[in-house]
Each structure stands twice: as C-alpha cells, then as structure tokens.
Structure 1
Amino acid sequence: MPLTNQETYQRYVWAGMTRDAAALAELFTEDGVLETPLLPAGHSYPRRMAGREEIRRAMTAYYERSASDDRTVNVDRTRYILHATADPDVFIVEIDTAFDGPAGESGMSLVQIFRLRDGKIALLRDYFAPDEVA
C-alpha cells in the first residue's frame, strides 16, 4: 500500500534528522532527483542529485562533512504545514525549523515541493537560504 503524502514527508524528515542517507535515498524513485535551486555552484550541500544511488552517495558524503554541525533540531518548536494540490502526486511543505546549539536558538524557513511517482519521490525541490546550511 502506498504511503500517504504525510507519511512520505515524515519519513523524509526522519531520514534527514537521523542523517540516514540510505533511508533517505530509498524514498526516491530509481531515477529520482533532489534539487536545491537556490544554492550556488560549489556549495558544500549538493545542488542537484539525480538517481537514487547518487542521492545516497552525495548525502552520505555531506553528512560526514557536516558532522561537526553541533546544532540539533528542536522538534517542539519546529513547525510545518503540508499543502495538498490538485495533483495527488504533488504536495508542498512550508517549514520553520528551530535549532538549538552552543550559540543559542536559531531557525530556518524553507519550502519543499514533492512530486511523487508510484509512491516514491520522483522530484524534490528544496528551497532554503544557502547560508543556513554548512
């Protein structure tokens, strides 16, 4: 039975929070694409990953590089709204992520657009401020 949009999103968030690149990649179709269009070329976070295996490799490398990021997501203060669209395979999420860290509380607002195919993510466009990601 296919996951609901809510379940897909929750699994995506969990994989990211736990830095589980394999679990994150498995949410994508074999030819799935993860894009971060606002990032400049050469940023430490990959700007475009095409294919499940590239997503797995690139996110594993990113998680290893960013292991020194000592901020943690404050789940109690983080909020999101999932918006359904006229197309049942497309949903949009508005997110206000709250972090706790040595420098105190901080946050990041972003928008993600998910396009599904056969219950998997075929395209994810992640729009966030480049200076918020190490």
Structure 2
Amino acid sequence: MSVSPQEIFQKYVYAGALTRNADALAELFTEDGVLEAPLVPADAAFPRRTEGREEIRRAMSAYYERQSSDGGVPNVEKSRYVLHITDDPEVFIAEIDTVFDGEEDETVSLVQIYRVRDGKIAHLRDYFAPGMVS
C-alpha cells in the first residue's frame, strides 16, 4: 500500500512542528534520507543539512531541546497549505502559510520540496525565513 503525499506531509507536520518528536520525525525518512534547509546560515541552531536517518534524529532532538516550550506552536485552524503534485510521482511540493497566535497573529510562509521513495522521505528541502530558527 502506497502512502499519499497528503499522509506524508501531515505526518511530517505532526512529528515536527506540532509535537517536536525527533524520533517520529526521523522515522519518516529513508535510512539515507536528507533534511535540508538551504536558506539557514551554517551557524544557526536549526541544522542546514543533515544526512541519514540517525543523524536527522540526533540533530532534530538537539534542536528541539534548545527550543522554549512556551511558544512556537502553530495554530492549525488558522494555518493553510496547498500540496502541488508534480509529473514525477516521487516529488511533491508543499506551499505553507503557518499562523502563530499572539497579540497579533504572525504568519510565516514557506515552501517544502519532498522527494519520496517507498513511502518515506528521501530528501526534503525546507525553504523558510532563517530568522525563524536563530
């Protein structure tokens, strides 16, 4: 049974942004998977490029531990996304507007490009404003 882009995307968002579960997030990747954030400076807390499931697990666990527990959780009801299915069955693109609640709602727009293999993420490029993870 194949996994749909919708399912992969929703699992990634849940494991990452919503629950900050590095183990669950890492399990979404192939053993040799790559998590890449090309716009993030090399010295940022968020890893710019991480290769391999176990390295993704380690890097994201370290990143999540550094984050404060009081903020940064998106408002799912206000946030929006569109998945773009490509001619390549292994590639889809997520166009996202994430809303964070506050005195004034803050919207963060980003794009993610997924390359999947056998229902797992083989390569994810996450394009977002570097200031979000300083």
Give TM-score scaled by structure 2 length.
Answer: 0.94
Contact kept, 8 Å, 2:116 with 2:123, in 1: the verdict is yes
Aligned to 1:83: 84
How far apart, CA to CA, are the structure 1 residues paired with 2:70 and 2:112? 22
Give the gaps of 5 or more residues in structure 1. Answer: none
**What letter corresponds to residue 27 of structure 2 in structure 1?**
E
State the SS of the aligned residue for 2:112. strand
Matches within 5 A, 1:1-134: 1-16=1-16, 17-68=18-69, 70-101=71-102, 103-134=103-134
User: Displacement of 1:68 after TM fit?
Assistant: 4.5
The size of the alignment, in residue pairs, is 133
Report sequence identity in percent: 65
**1: CA distance between counterparts of 2:70 and 2:131?**
13
Name the TM-score, length of structure 1 as normaliser: 0.94
Instruction: Give the Cα separation in 1 of the matches to 2:59 and 2:127.
Output: 18
Cα drift, residue 69 of structure 1: 5.3
**Kept in 1: contact 2:44–2:133 (CA 8 A):** no
* 1:67 CA drift (Å): 2.6
SS for the counterpart of 2:67 is helix
1:61-85 per-residue CA deviation (whole Å, 9 max, x = no partner) reads 0000013452321111100000000
Deviations 1:13-33 (A, max 9, x none): 000110111010000000000
Question: Greater strand percent: which structure?
Answer: 1
Structure-1 separation of matches of 2:121 and 2:70: 27
